[in-house]
A and B are shown apart, each in its own frame.
Chain A
């Protein structure tokens, strides 16, 4: 098992267990352990991703299944690993069928954090606008400067 594959396997187990644990427990049927039948990793270039591959970085994706109170559900994960084997990003691919599962997978996906270093605005080309928080008014900044001068 290559190092990347080992990473992905471990990551998938952790995520699938977490997702299964997110399901509301029913007294009659305790939350079953996730089924891990299809964890064979596959490199993929078709997965929708917001992460841009850096030179030397690899992307690996996997789909797996787990048991929810509503039946078996699918979920996918994508890992980005750099040349030194460091995971640089992880993404959840929402594949759930039932609306509740989709909502939970979406929430789970949103909680998977990403490290973003940013890029200088001046390095971007063909940008029509820069979206950001509201620019402060001249009056506000002037008042702030005056206030600081009084301190």
Chain B
């Protein structure tokens, strides 16, 4: 077993490869460099990123990269599925609430009062986005899930098919060399020393989110843009899906929409989920793979 850790996209990453093969420093550097490039291109905390490219732009139609188009197409589907509860155009609202690159963590009440949700459309065929006002995109967890899967593909293409990749608690696992899966303990929301369950991941992605991290004042990073405040439907949730990207998309739905509606939507996606409600009771999909404690 060979493992490597690094920091990127504002969180800790770790990769384990269950192979005896020699893994050069050059390979690990490639993993770090490509991840850093992805961050440069898509993090809203970086001035020159594509996510911030329209922060000062006038209404109009602008070209976007193929990868940005891919992210926006997925975001658009989520936006439709959640009837607008998920919308990556909330970047500037998060910034005004204080979650910005300077981490002011002080809400700008006047700006928040006047803030209106920007409208945008993605034209996947022509790689263009149309906006009605300046906007900053914030993809939330789905950008991270997307990148975890990209790294998994990079490892497979580099002849390291037996691996697990974790980025800030979300992950994609293939299998171990002996064909077994990877054992993953699931953290109890708000209780970092406790596990609420244990699952074995094999060719599956995992994502979780809770309302305890990235919290400041009355805000945390899941925003109800209609009420201009943070969501408080649930304490946390975890999802197991065919890949990390789908798992992250499902956690966004579970975190942002009304619980009854959310579980119906997620059932349609064909993923398995756990939701920890405000009452501390756990609700889970009928085929959740794993033990609960």
Contacts and interface: CB of A to CB of B under 8 A. Distances in A.
Given A116-B197, A127-B184, A135 B285 contact: no
A126 B10 CA distance: 28
Main secondary structure of the interface of A (DSSP, over half): mixed
A107 B259 CA distance: 11
Given A128-B16, A136-B214, A106 B285 contact: yes
Contacts of A94: 286-287
Contacts of A42: none
Contact of B198 (A111, A112, A122, A127): A127
B213 interface: yes
Interface in A90-138: 92-94, 103, 105-107, 109-122, 124, 126-137
A10 interface: no
Interface residues on B, range: 35 or more
A143 B169 contact: no
B186 interface: yes
**Residue from B185, B280, B283 whose CB has the most chain A CB atoms within 10 Å:** B185
A52 interface: yes
Given A109-B286, A139-B103, A130 B196 contact: no
B283 A112 contact: yes
Interface of B: 10-12, 14, 16, 103-106, 141, 144, 164, 166, 168-171, 182-189, 191-199, 206-210, 212-214, 216, 236, 238, 260, 263-264, 267, 273, 275-277, 279-293
